[in-house]
């Protein structure tokens, strides 16, 4: 299938090499496909292999397990050089959530101050992760799960699971029982705080997150309350 490339030539080449080399993880991955002349981008377009399957609502624990398997096979990959040069909204929000960019610039964003007050250090090592698994795992009755739209970040593997939990609580109607299912994962509370900061700040940078409309329910309120409670345990 063809899509606007949307990635630097360096990242496209990296995805082709790294994702194309990961084998034995029991998952279907989605590296870009080269044209006949070897190029990965032609006039702003890139080709990707079509992977049958669909996103299935409510399969959050299965998505987390897919991420665990994927990250186990990526654990020895070196940090991609292009990550340091990224300036998109998600890269900026990621740095804010992890204390690499001044949080002060975003304290006006609703919930960020409360979430940041509960932050504590984490000691797990960083590695290559897919930081946006929530809508990018496809399930099929006839094939292993497929992982698409790889979003590379250099963070602890458990953080990727927390992003799935945050998205489920905020946007997908997950109940409090999901939090109980993952509460014993190491540092989950701290990862969840950072995942919520990441989502709020990225929305603010994109201009989509401020203000949350006062006329309707705040989709983040319950997730923030649950995350802060978990952090206090």
Evaluate whether 191 touches 162 at the Cβ level (below 8 Å): yes
Q: Model's pTM, two decimal places?
A: 0.94
- pLDDT confidence bin for 83, thresholds 50/70/90: very high
Q: How far is CA 125 from CA 25, 83, 134, in A?
A: 21, 17, 22
Give the long-range contacts of residues 222-227, CB within 8 A, separation 24 or more: 222/169, 223/166, 223/169, 223/170, 223/196, 224/111, 224/114, 224/115, 224/196, 226/169, 226/176, 226/179, 227/115, 227/118, 227/166, 227/189, 227/192, 227/193, 227/196
Backbone angles phi, psi at 122, to 5 degrees: -120, 150
Separation of alpha carbons 30 and 130, rounded Å: 12
Pairing of strands 45-48, 137-140: unpaired
Mean pLDDT of the chain: 94
The pLDDT of residue 11: 95
Evaluate whether 19 touches 151 at the Cβ level (below 8 Å): no
Residue 214, token pair as written in the block: 């006062």
Q: Give the tens place of pLDDT for each residue, 156-208.
A: 999 999 999 999 999 999 999 999 999 999 999 999 999 999 999 999 999 85
Task: Give the count of alpha carbons within 13 A of 27, CB side only.
Answer: 27
Evaluate whether 111 touches 220 at the Cβ level (below 8 Å): yes
CATH 3.40.30 corresponds to the domain 53-232: no
Separation of alpha carbons 113 and 148, rounded Å: 33
| Mean pLDDT across 19-23 | 83
pLDDT for residue 136 is more than 90: yes
Backbone angles phi, psi at 2, to 5 degrees: -105, 140
10 Å CB burial of residue 150 (0-12, 13-18, 19+) is: buried
Q: What is the DSSP letter of 79?
A: P
Separation of alpha carbons 209 and 21, rounded Å: 38
């Amino acid at each position: 299938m063809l899509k606007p490339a949307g990635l630097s030539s360096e990242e496209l080449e990296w995805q082709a090499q790294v994702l194309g080399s990961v084998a034995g993880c029991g998952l279907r991955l989605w590296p870009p496909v080269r044209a006949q002349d070897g190029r990965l981008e032609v006039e702003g377009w890139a080709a990707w292999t079509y992977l049958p399957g669909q996103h299935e609502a409510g399969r959050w624990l299965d998505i987390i397990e897919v991420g665990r398997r994927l990250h186990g096979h990526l654990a020895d990959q070196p940090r991609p050089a292009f990550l340091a040069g990224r300036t998109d909204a998600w890269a900026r929000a990621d740095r804010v959530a992890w204390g690499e960019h001044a949080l002060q610039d975003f304290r006006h964003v609703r919930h960020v101050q409360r979430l940041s007050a509960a932050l504590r250090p984490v000691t797990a090592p960083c590695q290559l992760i897919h930081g946006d698994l929530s809508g990018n795992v496809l399930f099929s009755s006839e094939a292993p799960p497929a992982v698409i739209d790889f979003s590379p970040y250099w963070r602890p593997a458990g953080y990727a699971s927390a992003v799935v939990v945050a998205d489920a609580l905020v946007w997908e109607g997950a109940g409090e029982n999901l939090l109980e299912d993952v509460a014993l994962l190491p540092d989950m509370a701290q990862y969840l705080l950072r995942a919520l900061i990441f989502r709020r700040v990225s929305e603010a940078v994109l201009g989509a997150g401020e203000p949350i409309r006062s006329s309707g329910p705040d989709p983040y309120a319950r997730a923030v309350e649950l995350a802060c409670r978990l952090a206090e345990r």
